[in-house]
Amino acid sequence: MISEEEKRRLADLYAAAAEALDPLASDLEERRKAFDLEVERLYRVVSAPGVTFEKFKGKAVQMCLKYLHRDLPPDERRARDTTI
């Protein structure tokens, strides 16, 4: 099980990489690497047997999106789920 603190940290790392205003920023690759390393750490700690890393990472990204948009009104949250 992933704790609330781990969810927050992972969502912050995801936001720093995915929502970068400058796609050519010099530190963008470092941000992506930090997110990937945290996903790898969580995969080793909490993944169920038989779950691939790619599937785990996909679910982690979905969790991050839900976490980051948790305070949005339901209609806007649904719109973001289909456009991101």
Please, what sign has the CA dihedral across residues 49, 53, 55, 56? positive
DSSP 8-state secondary structure symbol assigned to residue 3: -
Look at residue 4 and tell me whether its pLDDT is greater than 60: yes
Q: What is the pLDDT of residues 22-63, one digit of tens each?
A: 777 778 889 999 999 999 999 999 988 999 999 999 999 999
- Which residue in this structure is represented by tokens 């980051």? 68
Distance, in Å, from the CA atom of 15 to the CA atom of 27, rounded to the nearest integer, reads 14
Look at residue 84 and tell me whether its pLDDT is greater than 50: no
pLDDT of residue 62: 93
